[in-house]
Amino acid sequence: MRLLVTDAAAQPPRQSTAWLIMTLGRNNPYGNTARDIRKDMARNLRVHVTQTFATPKAGNLDVISSISYDFEAGVKYASVFIPSESEALGVLGCYLNDPQLLRQSDTGIRTESGFRDTDEKISSDDLLFSPQVLVYTSQVFPTQIKQNLIQEAKVRGLVFILRDGAYIQARLAAEKPMAFISHDSRDKEAIARSLAVDLQKALCTVWYDEFSLIPGQSLRASIERGLKECRKCVLILSPHFLSNGGWTKAEFDSIFTREILEQSNIIIPVWHNITKEQVYEYSPRLLDKVGIPSSLPSDELIRRLLTAINHEERK
């Protein structure tokens, strides 16, 4: 059997950069695909390589290839994250033609695991390579193409687990958002969209209208479900938000009521070009909540939001 990757063919990576990351189990514009990688490999040490492929449609395409070290099981395995919705087949063809590309991030890096004050030391060099390769992409593969890819991988001693767009959507439908982004639509360009994207890049699940609303679905039902299921609600408080008597007011009333019902802190205010007096006039209780100014550098803004979203209250 041969896998044809004619018009979707990609050239092998011409450059790469690598870094090491320890995933701590916390909850990119890569969106929900990246979040699922985090959930699948949340307790393992990972080494990442960014491999740049030359593709006919997307130009230079950065693909994240990683090795996960499972010291408990004594194995290490590869995973790839392909952000393009049109070039995934060509990139996978490159990996099939040269499987060693999947192990590139394991080159020249050695680490040990063990408990302090004990003689237990497990080296990454001693871990066995699993033939399993997790493939994440937002592209949806037809069934036959998926079967061909899996078969081609087997011929090369690999076990492809393809988690494509259809898999991601099915998984997304069954999961709850970490944060609901409540905002006035006039603030999308200035702050809302970039904030939602940056949280997604940090592998934090968000309910954001441009990501979460599906054509044909009930707008009210979808918003209410997001407000009920989210762990936290990020309110982007701006002059537009405070003057909006429609959806933003309804969302605030709903999440305010939920706070009273559950006796918990759910609201995370982000102050965007407003004063204390304006917030007090809108809702005195909101002034009692520690807010995050939108004027902070974006990385610090996201860091503070993630800290608040992941904060576990003691009851």
What pLDDT, in 10s, does the model give residues 15-38? 433 333 333 233 333 444 555 555
- Same domain membership, residue 225 and residue 167: no
In angstroms, rounded to a whole number, what is the distance separating the alpha carbons of residues 58 and 82?
12
Whether 6 is covered by a domain: the verdict is no
Lowest mean pLDDT among 80-94, 126-140, 178-192, 276-290: 80-94
| 239 and 294 assigned to the same domain | yes
Q: Which domain holds residue 74?
A: 11-171
CA of 295: how far to CAs of 185, 191, 248, 269, 271, in Å?
19, 10, 22, 13, 9
Residues 88 and 111 both lie in one domain: yes
Domain boundary (107, 139, 171) is at 171
pTM reported for the whole predicted model: 0.53
Band (107; pLDDT cuts 50, 70, 90): confident
Are 119 and 16 members of one domain?
A: yes
- Catalytic-role residue among 112, 251, 259, 281: 251
Domain boundary (136, 156, 171) is at 171
Answer with the one of 133, 154, 171 that is the final residue of a domain: 171
- Residue 251 annotated in active site: yes
Asked if 107 and 65 count as a contact pair (C-beta separation under 8 A), the reply is: no
| Domain count across the chain | 2
**pLDDT (tens digit per residue) in 264-312:** 999 999 999 999 999 999 999 999 999 999 999 998 999 999 999 988 7
Does residue 286 or residue 3 have the better pLDDT? 286
Lowest mean pLDDT: which of 10-24, 147-161, 221-235, 296-310?
10-24
